[in-house]
Structure 1
Amino acid sequence: MPIIHISTHVLKLKPNLPPLGRCKPSLPPSAAPSPRRRCRSSSALAVPTREPVSPPEPPIPERIFSSGAKSGTYTPGDSTFYSLIDSYAGAGDFGSLEKVLHRMRRERRVLVERSFISIFKAYGRAGLPEMAIDWFDRMVDEFQCKRTVRSFNSVLNIIIQNGRYNRGLEFYSYVISSSQINISPNVLSYNLVVKAVCKMGMVDRAVELFREMPLRSCVPDVFTYCTLMDGLCKEGRIEEAVSLLDEMQMEGCFPSAVTYNVLINGLCKKGDLRRAAKLVDNMLLKGCAPNEVTYNTLIHGLCLRGKLDKAVDLLNQMVAIKFMPNDVTYGTIINGLVRLGRAVDGLQVLKFMVERGSRANQYVYSTLLSGLFKEGRFQEARRLWQDIVEGRCEPNTVMYSAFIDGLCREGKPEEAKEVLLEMMNKGSAPNAFTYSSLLRGFFRTDKSEKAILMWEEMENNNDFTNAVCYSVLIHGLCEKGKLEKATMVWKNMLARGFKPDVVSYTSFIQGHCDNGELKEGLKLFNEMLCQGPGCQPDVITYNILFNALCMQGNISHALNLLNSMLHQGLDPDLYTCDIFLKALSEKLNPPQDGREFLDELVLRLFKRQRVVGASRILEVMLQKYLPPKSFTWEKAVQQLCKPKKVRAAIDRCWNDLVC
């Protein structure tokens, strides 16, 4: 009832008001309807129509300029223009903005710096930093508006936010060195330019700017220190970054949690968890409490070092003090557990994660699926897939591919193919990994004909194939003794412009060697040597040729090839030793036990500073009861017990104990 009385009272006061539905432009601002409201028809029978969506009108419409003078009740002042500038700048309407500014210049209105800062920000949001620079010049040349460090910082920030770091440095130098502009940088100016040079990897230049600040009466703040520390850490200059922490405290600038987090992150990436833990203690002593980022960083560092149990303990501690781990933290722990062959523990972390209201992403699920299948935990993997399908997470191509690969590992490629069809029906496109998993699955279950049929279907349907798929097909055919078909696939691969990789070459070489065509295998091997760095023979390739040559009794050729392998920087493995030991005992007359051969091999590796490779050969000798000579033992002790290596081993032990 009060509302009705008020409405009636208003109508009595203004009997000449237009009926609802008309918006009379000549109304004074106090009585004009809000431009945010749309006028509605008073007819109840009117058919509603959907009007085209138009951009929102500014708080003060342009028509006020034409109506104000006629009504005699309103005169547009400077504040009106400022409001229009803010409105058009916020909407990104640069055409209307130009009109308003042109009118202000014509009427000799006063323009303030705040309005130009709104214009700069508008061009920054539109990704047009050059226009912001242009207006920075025009504000003086055309509008006689005095520039201060505020407008300078605004434009500089826009340039840097748009990733134009070089242009930002040019603009900074141009303004600071210009006697006409007469602007001195403040702390924010330095913070912006230090950030730019750090982003460009010019950390030494950032240090110079930092040291220049006191000369310009600028005291670095916590943001300056944080930015410079982050740049130093990313360049691997951790010691310099840590020394800045002491310096800033001596200068009376107290570090924040962000400051500590930058250093902790740098130390964790370096693997120095002991110092990272000490830095956390330092935080607490300074009254700066660790936050979620601190814990997430430490957990990530522990996972990188393989300390998963400590990472899980820290996760429990984090939850106990009401900090919420993020998805990256959970994903890092789960991924680390899977890498260590502890996918079941990863499932427990996933359960812990879901119970606390976090949702695992598709990467976490695909990682767990792959890990469970690789460990032979087929039932757990299927249960997890069932949970996914029932609504935990929408499967994507990566998740489907992980499940298909797992089914093939389980020896069920037929079921995997059904999942492939389901995947395609639901709109997820298979990739090369999906197809290569299925091909590998058919070959593993002695269904090479089905693998070939599937390949033909893929080619007929123009499905995605690449060098990996060709490698899998060639390897499978050669392994099953189908060298003729493998040769056809090889030629088809070359004709379609795909370059063979190490797996393709190695598989094809093995196919020829198994077929008694050693000459062809050596020809392919020499062809490999002529390829680029990404397609050089590995120890598996060499072992195939060692075995083939030794089987034919050509031990001297095999030894020459071994020398070539050592020159290429490859170390022999257990299989290499077994091949030569067998050849020396069976193909020579009189037979040899191989002790001399392995002893010499150890010395050659030590001479080349290949300590790891030499240590492996020593282990083989001890396992086969072929004790090395005393001189070889002496050389081994000298190499393995160097002071630096002993000190590094002790440091690692202490690091394990502390962390």
Structure 2
Amino acid sequence: MSSSPSAANLLALLRRNAASPAVALRLFLHLSSAASPAPPRSTSFLARLLAAQPAADALLPRLLRHVLSFPDPSPHLLAFLSCSGTLPLCLALPAFRSLRALASDRPPPTPVYNRLILAALRESRLDLVEALYKDLLVAGAEPDVFTRNLLLQALCDAGRMELAQRVFDAMPIRNEFSFGILARGYCRAGRSIDSLKVLDGMPSLNLVVCNTVVAGFCKEGRVEEAEMLVERMRAQGLAPNVVTFNARISALCKAGQVMEAYRIFKDMQEDWQHGLPRPDQVTFDVMLSGFCVAGFIDEARVLVDIMRCGGFLRRVESYNRWLSGLVRNGKVGEAQELLREMAHEGIQPNIYTHNIIVSGLCKEHKAFDVRRVEDFIRSGVMTPDVVTYTSLLHAYCSKGNIAAANRILDEMALKGCAPNSFTYNVLLQSLWRSGRTTEAEQLLERMSEKGYNLDTTSCNIIIDGLCKNSRLDVAMGIVDGMWKEGSAALGRLGNSFLSVVSDSSSSQRCLPDRITYSILISALCKEGRFDEAKKKLLEMIVRDISPDSVIYDTFIHGYCKHGKTSLAIKVLRDMEKKGCNPSTSTYNLLIQGFEKQHKSDEIIKLISEMKEKGISPNVMTYNSLIKSFCERGLVKRAMPLLDEMLQNELVPNITSFGLLIKAFCKITDFPSAQMVFDAALRTCGQKGVLYCLMCTELSTYGRWIEAKNILEIALEMRVSIQSFPYKQIISGLCEIGEVDHAHNILKLLIAKGHMFDPAAFMPVIEALGDRGKKQDVDMLSEKMMQMADRNDGRGTVSGKTTPGSRKHEHDRNGESDWRTLLHRDDSARTILRITKRVQTGWGQRGNVYEHKQQRSDEFYVIENTG
């Protein structure tokens, strides 16, 4: 190496110009050459300096090309790779390949491999991790414990737990990180019970590893195992800390056991004198998210008030959790009010805060108002980013408005906001699922032009679309081809796909994953092709892709759907043998299968088995058992299940009560049905669907007076009557001689402004006519004719009048009963007779319009007086 002054002073010059990396690079290029190469330390310093700059992609390649011109670039390449922990792989890999080519007989040091493997892990290049590890062994370098830990992590991240276990067993030296990586891998794979074996092999328990396993148990619903591990920690002198409790609370919330999580939270608040850790900021945030996700919005409000008083509502992250909860539960207006509170408290919203509001506006009432969303985006309170636009694009796609979604892409380009792969995949999924393959291919070409390569997610979208469009065999062929060709296998769909992927250097790493096989297995099971589905399951295992509970649940659902419950039970047992723990969803699928076969005893056995294994039944589980009992006429056995649900901190829903109401009405035990109905109102609230259900059941069994009472309450509450059997009730009352009650219902319908079927007037008009109440008949006849005219000019929505709508009721639901009457011979004469009365008046005493001026009956006011 030359000892010229320029070379000797180069490092000092670079350090003085560290604030201007581009200037430092020019100095390096000017003062070093093939004749006078720079010292490797200068190369290392400059590489680290450039790697930290946003313009590294442009500057680092120049440095790499320059050092390759040196007579012996190997030490400089090693210096260059010394910062590969911060270099992008697209720059580190060419330097590594050059080094391997120049010094094929001398392997790079193990730390270089470690840095590259770590960079590959950061970019989720799990295939590259294995390739680098194999190259290390071939080159004759010696992997250290850090190298093996990185390989272990890559295998765990890929879900290849059997191979990870073999690597772990073969490690000559292990440290605490080795045990922690494997334990976390088992927990992520839903196999926390296997992580206990990892703990057993540790020289001494580690708090971090134990916390990981505790969280894994809680996530899988294994609360008892989690408690036992906590006791084991205490017995070995390892005191559970707030992280332990936070892990338990978080995992329980994610598993849907929010009340169990809240019990632990309360213990931390109240029993801290007995050695329990006090809740910290994370505890409050996790508990708040748990309440919000579970829909316990009132409990969340109370917790937010406690957080305000205790000083735990001072971070934008905590506000974001509460905002997200309000939006998730349909309270977008309240979320916008919270934004103003944040401003008052001096909490600066971030882009995530505003994106929560945008997402809520897009999903509000399942039919977003685009003007509200776009006004909010353009109001100046936020600078939209790719997430903002993607939320809006997703909303358009969910409504099938592809033209508007494309407009959003164009607007993003104008604003300089580059779409990411997720943005394109959202639009691709919408196009492909709806069968608009030509537009999907055009989008793929657009992605290629923008430099976006197809990834596994893109391929899965296309495979899913093929399955949903009855092209399952084509999809299976593509998956087979992906193992050899990567995304290039999509070329089988046509030249447009081939042009997108043929030049993709990364197509080889676009390999099938667990989701790919889930899509195929689900499609095969739906078609009853179980033998082929089992072959795909075996193929997964051979490829070191561990099946998860979703895949096993798919088999169970398929077998139950085809009445093969015995085979579904075998899948459950096989699932347990493979170390994949069944969930509440797994058992619910089995229970629903037995429910269709009316096997209540089998359902009871499965629920008992769930409880023995620590798997909590949910409302759906109990509803299946209630339905099975009710269908067999064993309603007395079904009734106590409501109390059992409440004892297990489960709130029965409308379906739970509805099943019992129908069952009691079927055996004509109407007092018991009324009792269940009253309990449903207390539990579920004054829901219109409950009133409709009770009214319909009473009408079905001819209990017209009781049905009339329910209908009148519903009318006073101003709920929709579209699904109510009001016409049957009016007709039934007239048949049993209760014409006055039927007449009162008509009055109430009119007074509350409901636009209903004019045919409902007919039974009352005929019954009043038979009684000689000509004046009432006259008024009702006029109302009937006016309502018939209104039905021709207005639509009805949910039983309420909607002025300005030109869509007729019969356009949606076929011809109304009024029009049906017009086509019936036995009714045509009656209608003509009534029409004639309206025109001429009764006994030539004047027409009905004169009578209207003489009467002042408030029930007959046309306008809504309700």
Q: Normalization by structure 2: what TM-score?
A: 0.43
Opposite residue 278 of structure 1, the aligned amino acid is: R
Q: CA deviation at 1:399?
A: 1.0
- 1:336 and 2:154 aligned: yes
Aligned residue number for residue 260 of structure 1: 77
**Unaligned residue ranges in structure 2 (runs of 5+):** 454-498, 510-866
Judge which range, 504-513 or 339-348, deviates more.
504-513
Aligned residue number for residue 326 of structure 1: 144
Aligned residue number for residue 33 of structure 1: none
- 1:423 and 2:255 aligned: no
Aligned residue runs from structure 1 range 405-420, under 5 A: 405-420=215-230
Tell whether the 8 Å contact from 1:232 to 1:240 is kept in structure 2 after alignment. no
Deviation string for 1:329-371 (max 9, x for gaps)? Answer: 222222233333444433333223x2xx222x32343233222
Judge which range, 474-483 or 537-546, deviates more.
537-546
Opposite residue 640 of structure 1, the aligned amino acid is: M
- 1:532 and 2:348 aligned: yes
Aligned residue number for residue 505 of structure 2: 653
- Distance in 2 (CA, whole Å) between partners of 1:509 and 1:557 is 18
- 1:284 and 2:284 aligned: no
Number of residue pairs aligned between Structure 1 and Structure 2 = 445
Aligned residue runs from structure 1 range 236-635, under 5 A: 236=56, 237-249=59-71, 254-255=72-73, 258-265=75-82, 269-272=87-90, 274-284=93-103, 288-319=106-137, 322-352=140-170, 354=171, 357-359=172-174, 361-388=175-202, 391=203, 394-424=204-234, 426-428=236-238, 430=240, 432-444=242-254, 447-460=257-270, 461=272, 463=277, 465-499=279-313, 504-505=318-319, 507-509=321-323, 512=326, 518-527=332-341, 531-532=347-348, 534=350, 536-537=352-353, 539=355, 542-550=358-366, 556-557=371-372, 560-561=375-376, 568-571=384-387, 594-608=401-415, 609-612=417-420, 615-625=424-434, 627=436
**Pair 1:502–1:409, CA change in 2 (3 A):** farther
Q: CA deviation at 1:598?
A: 3.9
Tell whether the 8 Å contact from 2:7 to 2:37 is kept in structure 1 after alignment. no
Tell whether the 8 Å contact from 2:156 to 2:185 is kept in structure 1 after alignment. yes
Tell whether the 8 Å contact from 1:274 to 1:655 is kept in structure 2 after alignment. no
Deviation string for 1:236-278 (max 9, x for gaps)? Answer: 44234324424542xxxx455x433223455682212552343
- Distance in 2 (CA, whole Å) between partners of 1:644 and 1:303 is 22
Tell whether the 8 Å contact from 1:198 to 1:231 is kept in structure 2 after alignment. no
Aligned residue runs from structure 1 range 29-178, under 5 A: none
Aligned-partner SS, 1:653: coil
Tell whether the 8 Å contact from 1:528 to 1:536 is kept in structure 2 after alignment. no
Matching residue within 640, 650, 658 for 2:447: 640
- Distance in 2 (CA, whole Å) between partners of 1:507 and 1:221 is 53
Q: CA deviation at 1:637?
A: 7.5
Aligned residue number for residue 160 of structure 1: none
Opposite residue 221 of structure 2, the aligned amino acid is: G
Tell whether the 8 Å contact from 2:336 to 2:357 is kept in structure 1 after alignment. no
**Pair 1:263–1:422, CA change in 2 (3 A):** same
Tell whether the 8 Å contact from 1:194 to 1:206 is kept in structure 2 after alignment. no
- Distance in 2 (CA, whole Å) between partners of 1:595 and 1:317 is 47
Aligned-partner SS, 1:491: helix
- Distance in 2 (CA, whole Å) between partners of 1:293 and 1:328 is 9
- Distance in 2 (CA, whole Å) between partners of 1:497 and 1:453 is 22
Tell whether the 8 Å contact from 1:238 to 1:266 is kept in structure 2 after alignment. no
**Pair 1:538–1:408, CA change in 2 (3 A):** farther
- Distance in 2 (CA, whole Å) between partners of 1:436 and 1:633 is 47
Aligned-partner SS, 2:64: helix
Deviation string for 1:167-215 (max 9, x for gaps)? Answer: xxxxxxxxxxxxxxxxx9989974874686598887846975996799x
Aligned-partner SS, 1:536: helix
**Unaligned residue ranges in structure 1 (runs of 5+):** 1-183, 585-592
Deviation string for 1:541-574 (max 9, x for gaps)? Answer: 54344434557x8675356457679952144699
Aligned-partner SS, 1:452: helix
Deviation string for 1:565-593 (max 9, x for gaps)? Answer: 995214469987776677x6xxxxxxxx6
Q: CA deviation at 1:532?
A: 3.0
- Distance in 2 (CA, whole Å) between partners of 1:188 and 1:611 is 46
**Pair 1:481–1:578, CA change in 2 (3 A):** same
Q: CA deviation at 1:470?
A: 1.2
Q: CA deviation at 1:492?
A: 2.2
Q: CA deviation at 1:407?
A: 0.8
- Distance in 1 (CA, whole Å) between partners of 2:280 and 2:351 is 16
**Pair 1:245–1:312, CA change in 2 (3 A):** same
Judge which range, 326-335 or 518-527, deviates more.
518-527
Aligned-partner SS, 1:337: helix
Q: CA deviation at 1:405?
A: 1.0
**Pair 1:230–1:383, CA change in 2 (3 A):** same
Opposite residue 543 of structure 1, the aligned amino acid is: S
**Pair 1:633–1:341, CA change in 2 (3 A):** closer
Over the residues paired in the alignment, what is the CA RMSD in angstroms?
4.7
- Distance in 1 (CA, whole Å) between partners of 2:248 and 2:314 is 20
- Distance in 1 (CA, whole Å) between partners of 2:45 and 2:106 is 20
Tell whether the 8 Å contact from 1:404 to 1:434 is kept in structure 2 after alignment. yes
- Distance in 1 (CA, whole Å) between partners of 2:444 and 2:298 is 52
Q: Normalization by structure 1: what TM-score?
A: 0.55
**Pair 1:368–1:464, CA change in 2 (3 A):** farther
- Distance in 1 (CA, whole Å) between partners of 2:256 and 2:156 is 29
- Distance in 1 (CA, whole Å) between partners of 2:506 and 2:428 is 27
Q: CA deviation at 1:479?
A: 3.7
Deviation string for 1:415-469 (max 9, x for gaps)? Answer: 3234234435545454554322211334456654443332233234272533322
- Distance in 1 (CA, whole Å) between partners of 2:366 and 2:32 is 72
**Pair 1:296–1:520, CA change in 2 (3 A):** closer
Q: CA deviation at 1:653?
A: 0.6
Tell whether the 8 Å contact from 1:198 to 1:228 is kept in structure 2 after alignment. no
